[in-house]
Structure 1
Amino acid sequence: MHTQNQSLLDALNACIAACEHCATACLQEDNVKMMARCVLLDRDCADICALTARFIARGSEHAAHLLRECAEICKACADECEKHGAHSEHCRQCAEACRRCEQACRQGIAA
């Protein structure tokens, strides 16, 4: 597998793990309702990253379309998680993983 694809897959998989962890941790917060948008975006982000990783791994001709959508959702998730990062370490870590994944997706589109 091409090194660039492996780097992209690594970023996608790290983002999936961070989003799943963040969503689970958000559901343990005292004010879960305040974290609802974060949880929803975490789930959307993990799902689009997983689908994108599968398309990249098999070399699908449709991967570029998914990379654009994935970058957009990663950005939205990072933006939301950053709102909570000051008091939630899991949100801070998730935002960082989402930003790295967004950048990797944008580089994948350009390649």
Structure 2
Amino acid sequence: MDSMMMDSMKSMDMMPGMQTMDMALMQACMDACSACEQACTVCSTQMMDCSPACMNCADMCNTMMRSMMRMQGMTPAVMMSMLDACMAMCQLCMDMCMKHEAHSEVCRMCAAACKACMDACMAMRESMMAA
């Protein structure tokens, strides 16, 4: 998302408690979700036993990213629940992909993207809790 979009999001009419959102952390989280979605989509084509987890993780990351872009109607409690769900799905996918890391570069990259996404979601969640 470009800076113009982020600037317009700052002035949007948000639900109470959402005005203090750290837009830089939100952007980093959306970027990590996007990268994880892409890595999981590629990994799901490898036909290993991690494929279902990768497909579900890709969907969850996409949903998280889209929800963050649609701030109106989002409450802090809902946002935190969404972040928790995304982190849980990324953890499951990462664990499944790590089983194949010795013989699949794709699974290794997918696991790394899942870890980065979890870290970004956690940073966003911690920022919200501190606000």
Query: Which category of TM-score, normalised to the shorter sequence, fits these structures?
Result: 0.7 to 0.9
The percent of aligned pairs where both chains have the same amino acid is: 38
The residue aligned with 1:15 is 36
Aligned length: 102
Alignment correspondent of 2:26: 5
> Rg bigger for which structure?
2
Q: Distance in 2 between matches of 1:65 and 1:23?
A: 25
Which 5+ residue runs of structure 1 have no aligned equivalent?
A: 28-34
| Residue 109 of structure 1, CA deviation | 1.2
CA distance in structure 2 between the aligned counterparts of 1:69 and 1:6, rounded to whole angstroms = 18
1:105 maps to 2:121: yes
* Contact 2:43/2:106, CA 8 A, preserved across alignment: yes
- Which residue, 91, 94, 105 being the options, matches 1:78? 94
Show structure 1 runs of 4+ deviating over 4 A: none
TM-score scaled to structure 1, two decimals?
A: 0.87
- The 1-side partners of 2:116 and 2:33 are apart by 9
TM-score with structure 2 setting the length: 0.75
- Tell me which amino acid in the other structure corresponds to 1:103: D
Is the 8 Å Cα contact of residues 25 and 123 (structure 2) preserved in structure 1? Answer: no
Q: CA deviation at 1:108?
A: 1.2
Question: RMSD between aligned alpha carbons?
Answer: 0.9
